[in-house]
Amino acid sequence: MFGALKVLKNLFRSRQTDPGFSREFPKERMGRVVYDEKKCIKCYECVRNCPAVAISVRPDKFVQVDDEKCIRCGLCVRKCPTRALKMKEK
């Protein structure tokens, strides 16, 4: 009961954040995801788990990472069972 009350109380309170603060990080500083076709077993775990929908399946059934959409969270790298995806610094 107390947990639900606390959630409702915090739901309607005003935010105490700096309006000039941005959670965005420059993508050029965060590296990029590199894909190795030879290691890919086409399980598509990376496609299913990408929160930014930056990984798509090409016509030849391999995957493709869109650097513009990628938010560099690394979830695809952690979910890949064969380590076909790696996070690489620029």
pLDDT tens digits, one per residue of 46-76: 999 999 999 999 999 999 999 999 988 889 9
More confident residue, 77 or 24: 77
On whether the CB atoms of residues 72 and 32 are closer than 8 A, the answer is yes
Share in percent of the chain as helix, strand, coil (round to 5): 30, 15, 55
78 φ/ψ sector (left φ>0, alpha ψ -120 to 50, else beta): alpha
Residue 15, pLDDT score: 58
Residue 62's contacts (CB-CB under 8 Å, 6 or more residues apart) are 35, 37, 40, 42
pLDDT average, residue stretch 3-29: 63
The domain defined by 31-90 folds into Alpha-Beta Plaits (3.30.70)
pTM of the model: 0.64
On whether the CB atoms of residues 16 and 78 are closer than 8 A, the answer is no
Q: Where exactly are the structural domains of the chain?
A: 31-90
Query: Is the pLDDT assigned to residue 89 strictly greater than 90?
Result: no
